[in-house]
């Protein structure tokens, strides 16, 4: 065999070895690329039914979807964008569903200028008790 053949097979082997290593360690580095097209592709493949949401871990004792399934709820499951954001939080911070949902809601409140107590932070806001 020629030197170029050995070089070709060595490069192919190295690429396969690198790809395998990246695949096996993806949980350690994938959260560093939150807006990459690759991660968006993964998160668009989330289930679109309450049964699928339960199987994917988007249910807990505090946020129970079994009642929706038992009553035959025909809706398409939870909001896909919220599920994707919560799943990113769960994987990057290694937390359970309840904690991921809490962090997601705190971020949504902060982004919409709402305080932790639920009141708007707008200086023009007036409230009557």
pLDDT of residue 67: 76
Among residues 94, 85, 86, the alpha carbon closest in space to that of 28 is found at 94
User: pTM of the full predicted structure?
Assistant: 0.55
Helix (H), strand (E) counts: the chain:
7, 0
* pLDDT, average across residues 2-24: 90
pLDDT of residue 42: 57
13/15 Cα distance (integer angstroms): 6
Burial class (CB within 10 angstroms; exposed 0-12, middle 13-18, buried 19+) of 78: buried
Name 78's Cβ contacts closer than 8 Å, sequence gap at least 6: 50, 53, 58, 65
Give the SS3 label for residue 112: coil
pLDDT of residue 48: 66
What is the CB neighbour count within 10 angstroms for residue 68? 19
Q: Which residue has the tokens 């949902």?
A: 101
Which sequence spans correspond to the domains of the chain? Answer: 26-111
Q: What is the pLDDT of residues 74-113, one digit of tens each?
A: 676 777 788 888 888 988 999 988 899 899 999 999 998 8
């Amino acid at each position: 065999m020629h030197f170029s053949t050995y070089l070709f097979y060595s490069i192919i082997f190295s690429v396969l070895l690198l790809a395998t290593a990246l695949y096996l360690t993806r949980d350690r580095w994938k959260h560093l690329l939150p807006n990459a097209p690759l991660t968006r592709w993964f998160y668009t493949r989330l289930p679109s039914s309450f049964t699928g949401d339960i199987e994917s871990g988007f249910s807990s004792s505090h946020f129970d979807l079994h009642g929706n399934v038992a009553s035959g709820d025909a809706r398409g499951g939870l909001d896909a964008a919220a599920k994707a954001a919560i799943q990113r939080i769960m994987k990057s911070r290694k937390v359970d569903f309840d904690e991921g949902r809490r962090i997601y809601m705190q971020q949504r409140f902060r982004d919409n200028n709402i305080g932790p107590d639920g009141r708007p932070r707008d200086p023009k806001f007036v409230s009557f008790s």
